[in-house]
Amino acid sequence: MLVLHGAGVSSGICIGTAYTLRRSRPEISEYLLPDHLVKSEIERFSRAIKEVHLQLSKVLERIPSNAPKETSSFIDAHILILNDGMISKEPIDLIRNRKCNAEWALQQQGKMLTDMFGKIEDQYIRSKSTDVIQVVDRVIRNLLGQDDTDHDSLKKGQIIIANDLTPADTVLLKHKKIRAFVTDLGGPISHTAILARSLQIPAIVAVHNATRFIKKDEDIIIDGKRGVVILSPDKNILAEYRKRNRHITQLRIELEKLQKARSVTKDGKKIQLHTNIELPADVKATIKTNAAGIGLYRTEFLFMNRLDAPDEEEQFKNYVKVVKAIPNRPVTIRTLDLGADKQVDGGKLGGDVAINPALGLRALRLCLKSPEIFRPQLRAILRASAFGKVRLMLPMISGVDELQLALEFVEETKAELKIRGIKFDKKLPIGGMIEIPSAAIAADLFAPHLDFMSIGTNDLIQYTLAIDRVDDAVNYLYDPLHPAVLRLIVNIIEAGRVAKIPVAMCGEMAGDLRFARLLLGMGLTEFSMHPASLLGIKKIVKTSNITSLKRFAKKILAIKDIGELHATIDLENEKQNRRTASKR
Ligand code: PEP
Ligand code: MG
């Protein structure tokens, strides 16, 4: 029995078998062939192409019918690339002319193609070079007799062990019904961690060496809350964890009784509890928890795991699906937040990445620079607004000029639709995500231009504390209770109050039970989170008294020592939880 430790980013216990994913790029060297072996090398290459074709077709057949369309278009795109003469024929000339090994010939051809892609102006097309690399690597792995990476042998309900997962991976794995995952790298607010929480499965990141120590099909226990992985557990440990698991199930059943309950504090303050979603399929969980609406729809996930960008029509259909699924409840559609760790390919294989992508051309900046991406999305959102209560939200606003430019885009789109006689909600509320310190400090300058603001604590914490949200080397510095973060939140809520516009929070902090009482005391009245947290937060709302929480928040904000601040929060939570438990 061996115990590994990491950062628990999604709580829960899972007892099962491991499935280790390895995705290092194959190392290839060139070797020259005697004349008489060239023909058989060409045959070996052609055989590999055929086998990979077969593998991809099998993957395509196995995609469940309810999987999002993008899952299959991603595979379709790889088949197209594989069939292209640039991949399936040109390496043959190289093998014949240079008398070299097939792997090396294909790798050279791959390099030539990615260099070619790298010179293309259009960022979206340029990023597609990673699909070429993926196909090339797949054929090379086949030539080398290595496993393919489509998790073909992954059994339903296994625990994924990987060096790192991209958000795009996690979306694909969603359909494999994985029960937990463990990664060598990662941080608590990486998009992968966020997805694990939205999947409601335990997850532990930054378990250095997990892929080295954990063997395929080994029995393991994942304790997501404590960040512990137990390898080959003995009988006693297994019995203990089974008992804990039963207790967690009991607590969940208790919470489910709150589904229909109103989200109102003991002293009558109504608190809006919304959900964050990534794909239209996630709306089911919103309905199940009886949320007041969707506070954040991360539309960039529709752009991942595929070769072609979704056109206006496809985006429109996706948005309308969500809007119609929860009639009369607001759906906050965020415009694209691609870039940084959310690359269209999931950032799997690198490519042309900016020196500091989190500070680079991401989200609204990327959209303003790429009207060919931004305009169709705005049209799709506006058209969807004719079918329900849509709110449009702009991510990563950092300057008022930039915000005004984005608002001009919206106005122009409205005018265009009007001329074409296409219906949309003329009063569509437009909000901005406050997630960059400049916007948080100067929130009073942004508020008058907006109908609502939403605090994105994941990025706000990343940028305020200068800690990359995906870098496990600095994740120990992640602290939503850092006084600088708390002061910024106070400032944003105050700016909203003065401008008389609602302020929500849709970062991970909003769904963390530990911070709910403090945020309520600070005056936050709208929380948006992954559905798994909603009922827990509702329970806190229902047992809280805003007047006394205001006093509590004042006390917390005056504490200068960070250790004391954490201890005071924990003490208050323990006290209140005990009080609630004794009243049951
Ligand atoms: C945030 O930054 O807090 C947020 C909600 O957006 P995302 O996690 O998608 O960047
Ligand atoms: Mg963000």
What positions carry a catalytic annotation?
191, 506
Beta bridge partners of 15: 221
Mean pLDDT within 276-296: 93
* Nearest of 524, 481, 511, 514 to residue 277 by alpha carbon: 511
Where residue 59 falls among pLDDT bands split at 50, 70, 90?
confident
Mean pLDDT within 321-333: 96
* pLDDT tens digits for range 5-14: 998 988 899 9
Higher pLDDT pick, 327 / 361: 327
User: Which amino acid residue places its CA nearest to atom 1 of ligand 1?
Assistant: 456
Where residue 492 falls among pLDDT bands split at 50, 70, 90?
very high
* pLDDT tens digits for range 72-124: 777 788 888 899 999 999 999 999 999 999 999 999 998 888 888 777 766 55
For every residue of 38-93, DSSP letters joined together read: HHHHHHHHHHHHHHHHHHHHHHHHHS-TTS-HHHHHHHHHHHHHHHSHHHHTHHHH
* pLDDT tens digits for range 128-171: 676 788 788 889 888 877 655 556 667 777 899 988 776 666 66
Answer whether 381's CB lies under 8 Å from 390's CB. Answer: yes
Question: Among 189-193, 272-276, 483-487, where is mean pLDDT lowest?
Answer: 189-193
Residue from 170, 274, 337 to probe ligand 1 pocket by mutation (most atoms less than 8 Å from CB):
337
Share of the chain above pLDDT 70, in %: 88
CB-count exposure of residue 337 (10 Å: 0-12, 13-18, 19+): buried
Residue ranges around ligand 1 (CB below 6 Å): 194, 296, 298, 337, 435, 456-459, 506-507
pLDDT given at position 185: 83
Could you tell me the distance, in angstroms and rounded to a whole number, from the CA of residue 433 to the centre of ligand 2?
Answer: 8
Residue 244, H or E segment: helix 235-256
Instruction: Say what the pTM is.
Output: 0.77
* Nearest of 385, 377, 284, 287 to residue 331 by alpha carbon: 385
Answer whether 373's CB lies under 8 Å from 409's CB. Answer: no
| Count of positions (residues) in the chain | 584
Answer whether 211's CB lies under 8 Å from 192's CB. Answer: no
- Which residues, at least 6 apart from 18, have a Cβ–Cβ distance to it below 8 Å? 158, 159, 161, 214, 215, 216, 217, 218, 219, 220
Residue 272 DSSP label: E
The token pair at 225 is 């809350």
Mean pLDDT of the chain: 88
Residue 114, H or E segment: helix 102-118
pLDDT given at position 232: 94
Query: Which ligand minimizes its atom distance to the CA of 341?
Result: 1
Where residue 1 falls among pLDDT bands split at 50, 70, 90?
confident
